[in-house]
Amino acid sequence: MATNEENTIPDSIACPQQVTDICFHTTKPAIIVGDILGKVTLYSYDDEGKVHELRTHEHHKKTIRCVRVTADGQTMFTAGKDKSWCKVDLESGALLHEQSKAHEGAIYSAEVIDSNVMLTGDEDGVIKMWDMRRLPGPVMELKENDDYISDMVCHDDRKHLLVSSGDGTLSCVNIKNRKLELQSELFDSDFLSLAIMKNASKVVCGDGDGTLQIFNWGEWGNVSDRYPGHSGSIDSMLPLSEDVMCTGCEDGKLRLVHILPNSIESIIGSHGDFPIQSLTLSHDGALIASASHDEHVKFWKTPDVDEVTVGSHSKRKGKKVGKHEKLKERKAFFNDL
């Protein structure tokens, strides 16, 4: 992991409106910011910590829900509450495609596979896959959830999509076969954020009660571990290594968390009492950026994850859960919390 020791941490960006999503450029020192009014703004930053506004896009009429950049850094996808998504050339700023009325419900989340394929999830629990070579309609549409699609993460094999939902489920979608493989049982709290960890042997869901729900890969029916420890909902997660992640919490704090053994190692940043809306990692891994309801984008030096050791002062072992645990036992667990 890069350390950014030679460079100054960029200045915070004071935005004119509430920030709803952020995404670092994947090849350059730049960051993209989406706001509640539907504007998308591109900023660059230099080694002296100075931030420069480059340009603004106003293709959406309502709140920006998602901003994503392809791995090659050439293309940006945006999606909004206005039920549309856009494809933009990042070099020229040209609008390459606008898909209006992409969903019947407002788009809530998105995942980009490459410059040609992306997925969107909406407030009604509908997932659609789009292939730029086969527009105007989607190449896949699924309705397996009863509430909003909060987050989506694609496995490196580009075949399996993990989906978290406000209905309290984790789903695995085979995007090659274009069908649902398996869905977890219903949990008592919303699933809000996702991360694939431990060399893709574990999937971690952050829920509305501040608990990390940990699944074994392929065993989607029920969790293998639970780790309570956050004081509010876990609205965003950012993997930093196979064992360590950064979490963004409702209480406004960014936490460094080790997974299995489970431990909150430290608090690495804060937005005061404002919930953390979004987290992103810079192209060189040196910086973490966070966005909150305080209308600021803040930058933090990425901790050296190789030096993270599970401290006995903060270690809380997750509860092991058997495959045949009954639903009433799970409810009793959360009631005790």
**Tokens, residue 168:** 């309290």
pLDDT for res 6: 54
Tens-place pLDDT, residues 74-120:
999 999 999 999 999 999 999 999 999 999 999 999 999 999 999 99
Give the pLDDT band of residue 126 (cuts 50, 70, 90).
very high
Residue keyed to tokens 């999509």: 161
Q: Can you tell me the distance from the alpha carbon of 197 to that of 204, in angstroms, rounded to the nearest whole number? A: 7
* CB-count exposure of residue 200 (10 Å: 0-12, 13-18, 19+): middle
Q: Can you tell me the distance from the alpha carbon of 246 to that of 212, in angstroms, rounded to the nearest whole number? A: 12
Tens-place pLDDT, residues 1-38:
444 445 689 999 999 999 999 999 999 999 999 999 99
pLDDT at 322 over 90: no
With 0.95 as the threshold, say if the pTM is over it.
no
**Tokens, residue 216:** 């074994």
Cα-to-chain-centroid distance, residue 297: 16
pLDDT for res 262: 94
pLDDT at 311 over 80: no
pLDDT for res 157: 87
* CB-count exposure of residue 86 (10 Å: 0-12, 13-18, 19+): buried
Neighbours of 216 (CB within 10 A): 16
Dihedral over Cα of 293, 314, 165, 175: its sign:
positive
Residue keyed to tokens 């501040």: 210
pLDDT for res 145: 95
pLDDT for res 306: 81
Tens-place pLDDT, residues 162-195:
999 999 999 999 999 999 999 999 999 999 999 9
Sheet holding 30-35, edge to edge: 19-24, 30-35, 40-45, 51-57
